[in-house]
């Protein structure tokens, strides 16, 4: 009898991935294809959902070729968040998907800030309305492309569109519903008046189902394309915050850190905690009964890649970090780096901010620039941790994953900057692993997620804070002073000069 496995499909911001797991959690085969993001106009960043599907088919078939004797018993899906996908009644995409970096709805963001009242909206949804959020993007479409919304039959998150192509069934889960910022985090249901204020009919919001539920089986056309049996169960899945589950960050005080194109830091709680100032967000954990309180920085490894590119390293495309190491040397000689190459989300919520090196000297070398970039990204994530401390949330250890987590020496730097031990997963793709765990529970391989995690513990490398903690504390305070000093200039002079140059 052929061996049996679970196929996980992941639409990431920079790549589409397929991973075949054995029932005991081993990775049997995996494939990855880079995913292009287009910028047809300044401030616009879009992806083609049909390209997601084409790349998902390609990577799935590569995995099946690598393991031809294995039968796929179930499929799990996940994907990047805060990106609206609109389809018509036939399941066809009506417009390219504006991803989280898309900042076109500046005017609509301002209007919604007044209409929603940011803090009142946060109290209902746990989220924060900014130009990158879904409601302003929908309101922009309602104003500038009303025909698109007239043709829209369902609003999806990226992983939900992928599941639609596989099963023909519409739906989402609480993590992606919360990410759309049209969801009552207390009651676990859509909020009609928020949808209407955003410019859409509540009728296009999909059903919300548990992440571990089986939604439907694979349709024939999709089965032929993916190389799996017709009727193979497909689960609802979760947005890419499922990475916290895959890392083992499931207990109160566990900190979840992601270092991908964007960066995320959030702490797990077993009670619903909201920030009265709406600086950080609260989202449902993929494990029932848990929440994640934290936020994201817009450009983590995306910013690191851009710095590497400017220094002449054209291999930096989100891959190849195994060959990158944190440069040695004293931090005292390094410039300070502001990592806001795409504005900033939590906790500053300032779209006017931009990147900068400050403190360059004639002797500054490439290694110092690279070290400054990694340090600045870590400082931006510590900003989030500082707010979590103000909210009285216990932070015990940091579970790290994402492409940047494999960079040699960076975990040690972050441990000293956060003042917390860093637990780096030895399996780099924790997002796929978390989705595997959801699928295994949905298929009855494990009765609960707790049982699954006890049977399949995460293997980690540990980096403890070291003697550099005082030096990085001084550097962090200088970083904060620099941000506070330059932020007003970015909001006025910088944008004025950019406007004159057009």
How many other β-carbons are positioned within 10 Å of the β-carbon of residue 227? 16
What pLDDT, in 10s, does the model give residues 367-416? 999 999 999 999 999 999 999 999 999 999 999 998 899 999 999 999 99
Q: Is residue 205 located within the same domain as residue 122?
A: yes
Q: Is residue 54 located within the same domain as residue 198?
A: yes
Count of H helices and E strands in the chain? Answer: 17, 21
The answer to whether the predicted template modeling score (pTM) of the entire model surpasses 0.75 is yes
Does any domain span residue 282? no
Q: Which tokens in the block code for residue 4? A: 């049996």
Contacts 24+ apart (CB under 8 A), 392-396: 393/253, 393/267, 393/269, 393/273, 393/293, 394/252, 394/253, 394/267, 395/253, 395/255, 395/267, 395/420, 396/253, 396/254, 396/255, 396/420
Distance CA 95, CA 98 (A): 9
DSSP for 211-257 reads TT-EEEEPPHHHHHHHT--TT-EEE----GGGHHHHHT--STTEEEE
Please tell me the number of Cα atoms within 13 Å of 97 on its side-chain side.
31
Peptide bond before 347: cis, by omega within 30 degrees of 0? yes
What pLDDT, in 10s, does the model give residues 142-153? 999 999 999 999
- Contact between 294 and 266 under an 8 Å Cβ cutoff? The reply is yes
Q: Is residue 52 located within the same domain as residue 119?
A: yes
- Contact between 18 and 75 under an 8 Å Cβ cutoff? The reply is no
Instruction: Tell me which residue range forms the domain holding 269.
Output: 256-273+291-427+467-496
Does any domain span residue 71? yes
Residues of the chain above pLDDT 70, percent: 96
Residues in the chain with pLDDT < 50? 1, 317-318, 500-502
Domains of the chain: total: 2
Q: Is residue 303 located within the same domain as residue 342?
A: yes
What pLDDT, in 10s, does the model give residues 326-362? 999 889 889 999 999 989 999 999 989 999 999 999 9
Q: Is residue 298 located within the same domain as residue 416?
A: yes
């Amino acid at each position: 009898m052929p061996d049996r496995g679970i196929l996980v499909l992941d639409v990431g911001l920079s790549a589409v991935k397929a991973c075949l797991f054995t029932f005991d959690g081993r990775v049997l085969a995996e494939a990855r294809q880079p995913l292009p993001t287009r910028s047809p106009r300044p401030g616009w960043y879009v992806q083609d959902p049909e390209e997601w599907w084409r790349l998902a088919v390609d990577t799935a078939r590569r995995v099946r070729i690598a393991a031809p004797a294995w039968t796929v018993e179930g499929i799990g899906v996940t994907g990047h968040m805060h990106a609206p996908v609109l389809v018509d009644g036939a399941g066809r995409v009506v417009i390219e998907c504006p991803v989280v970096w898309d900042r076109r709805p500046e005017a609509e963001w301002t209007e919604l800030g007044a209409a929603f009242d940011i803090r009142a909206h946060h109290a209902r949804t746990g989220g924060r309305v900014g130009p990158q959020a879904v409601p302003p993007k929908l309101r922009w479409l309602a104003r500038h492309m009303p025909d698109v919304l007239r043709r829209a039959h369902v609003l999806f998150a990226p992983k939900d569109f992928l599941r639609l192509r596989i099963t023909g069934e519409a739906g989402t889960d609480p993590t992606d519903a919360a990410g759309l910022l049209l969801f009552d985090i207390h009651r676990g249901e859509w909020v009609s008046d928020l949808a209407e204020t955003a410019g859409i009919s509540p009728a296009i919001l999909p059903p919300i189902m548990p992440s571990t539920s089986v939604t439907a089986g694979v349709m024939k056309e999709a089965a032929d394309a993916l190389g799996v049996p017709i009727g193979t169960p497909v689960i609802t899945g979760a947005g890419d915050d499922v990475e916290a589950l895959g890392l083992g960050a499931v207990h109160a005080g566990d900190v979840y850190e992601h270092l991908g194109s964007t960066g995320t830091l959030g702490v797990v709680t077993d009670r619903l905690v909201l920030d009265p100032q709406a600086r950080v967000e609260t989202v449902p954990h993929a494990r029932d009964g848990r929440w994640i309180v934290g936020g994201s920085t817009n450009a983590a490894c995306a910013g690191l890649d851009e710095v590497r590119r400017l220094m002449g390293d054209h291999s930096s495309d989100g891959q190849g970090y195994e060959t990158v190491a944190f440069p040695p040397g004293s931090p005292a000689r390094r410039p300070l780096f502001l990592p806001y190459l795409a504005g900033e989300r939590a906790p500053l919520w300032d779209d006017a901010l931009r990147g900068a090196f400050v403190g360059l000297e004639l002797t500054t070398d490439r290694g110092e620039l690279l070290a400054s970039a990694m340090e600045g990204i870590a400082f931006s994530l510590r900003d989030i941790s500082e707010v979590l401390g103000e909210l009285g949330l216990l932070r015990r250890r940091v579970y790290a994953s994402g492409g940047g987590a494999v960079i040699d020496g960076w975990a040690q730097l972050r441990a000293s900057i956060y003042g917390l031990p860093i637990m780096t997963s030895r399996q780099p793709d924790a997002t796929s692993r978390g989705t595997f765990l959801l699928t295994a529970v949905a298929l009855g391989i494990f009765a609960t997620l707790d049982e699954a995690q006890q049977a399949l513990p995460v293997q980690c490398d540990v980096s403890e804070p070291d003697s550099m903690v005082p030096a990085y504390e001084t550097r962090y305070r200088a970083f904060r002073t620099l941000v506070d000093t330059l932020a007003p200039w970015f909001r006025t002079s910088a944008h004025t000069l950019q406007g004159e140059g057009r």
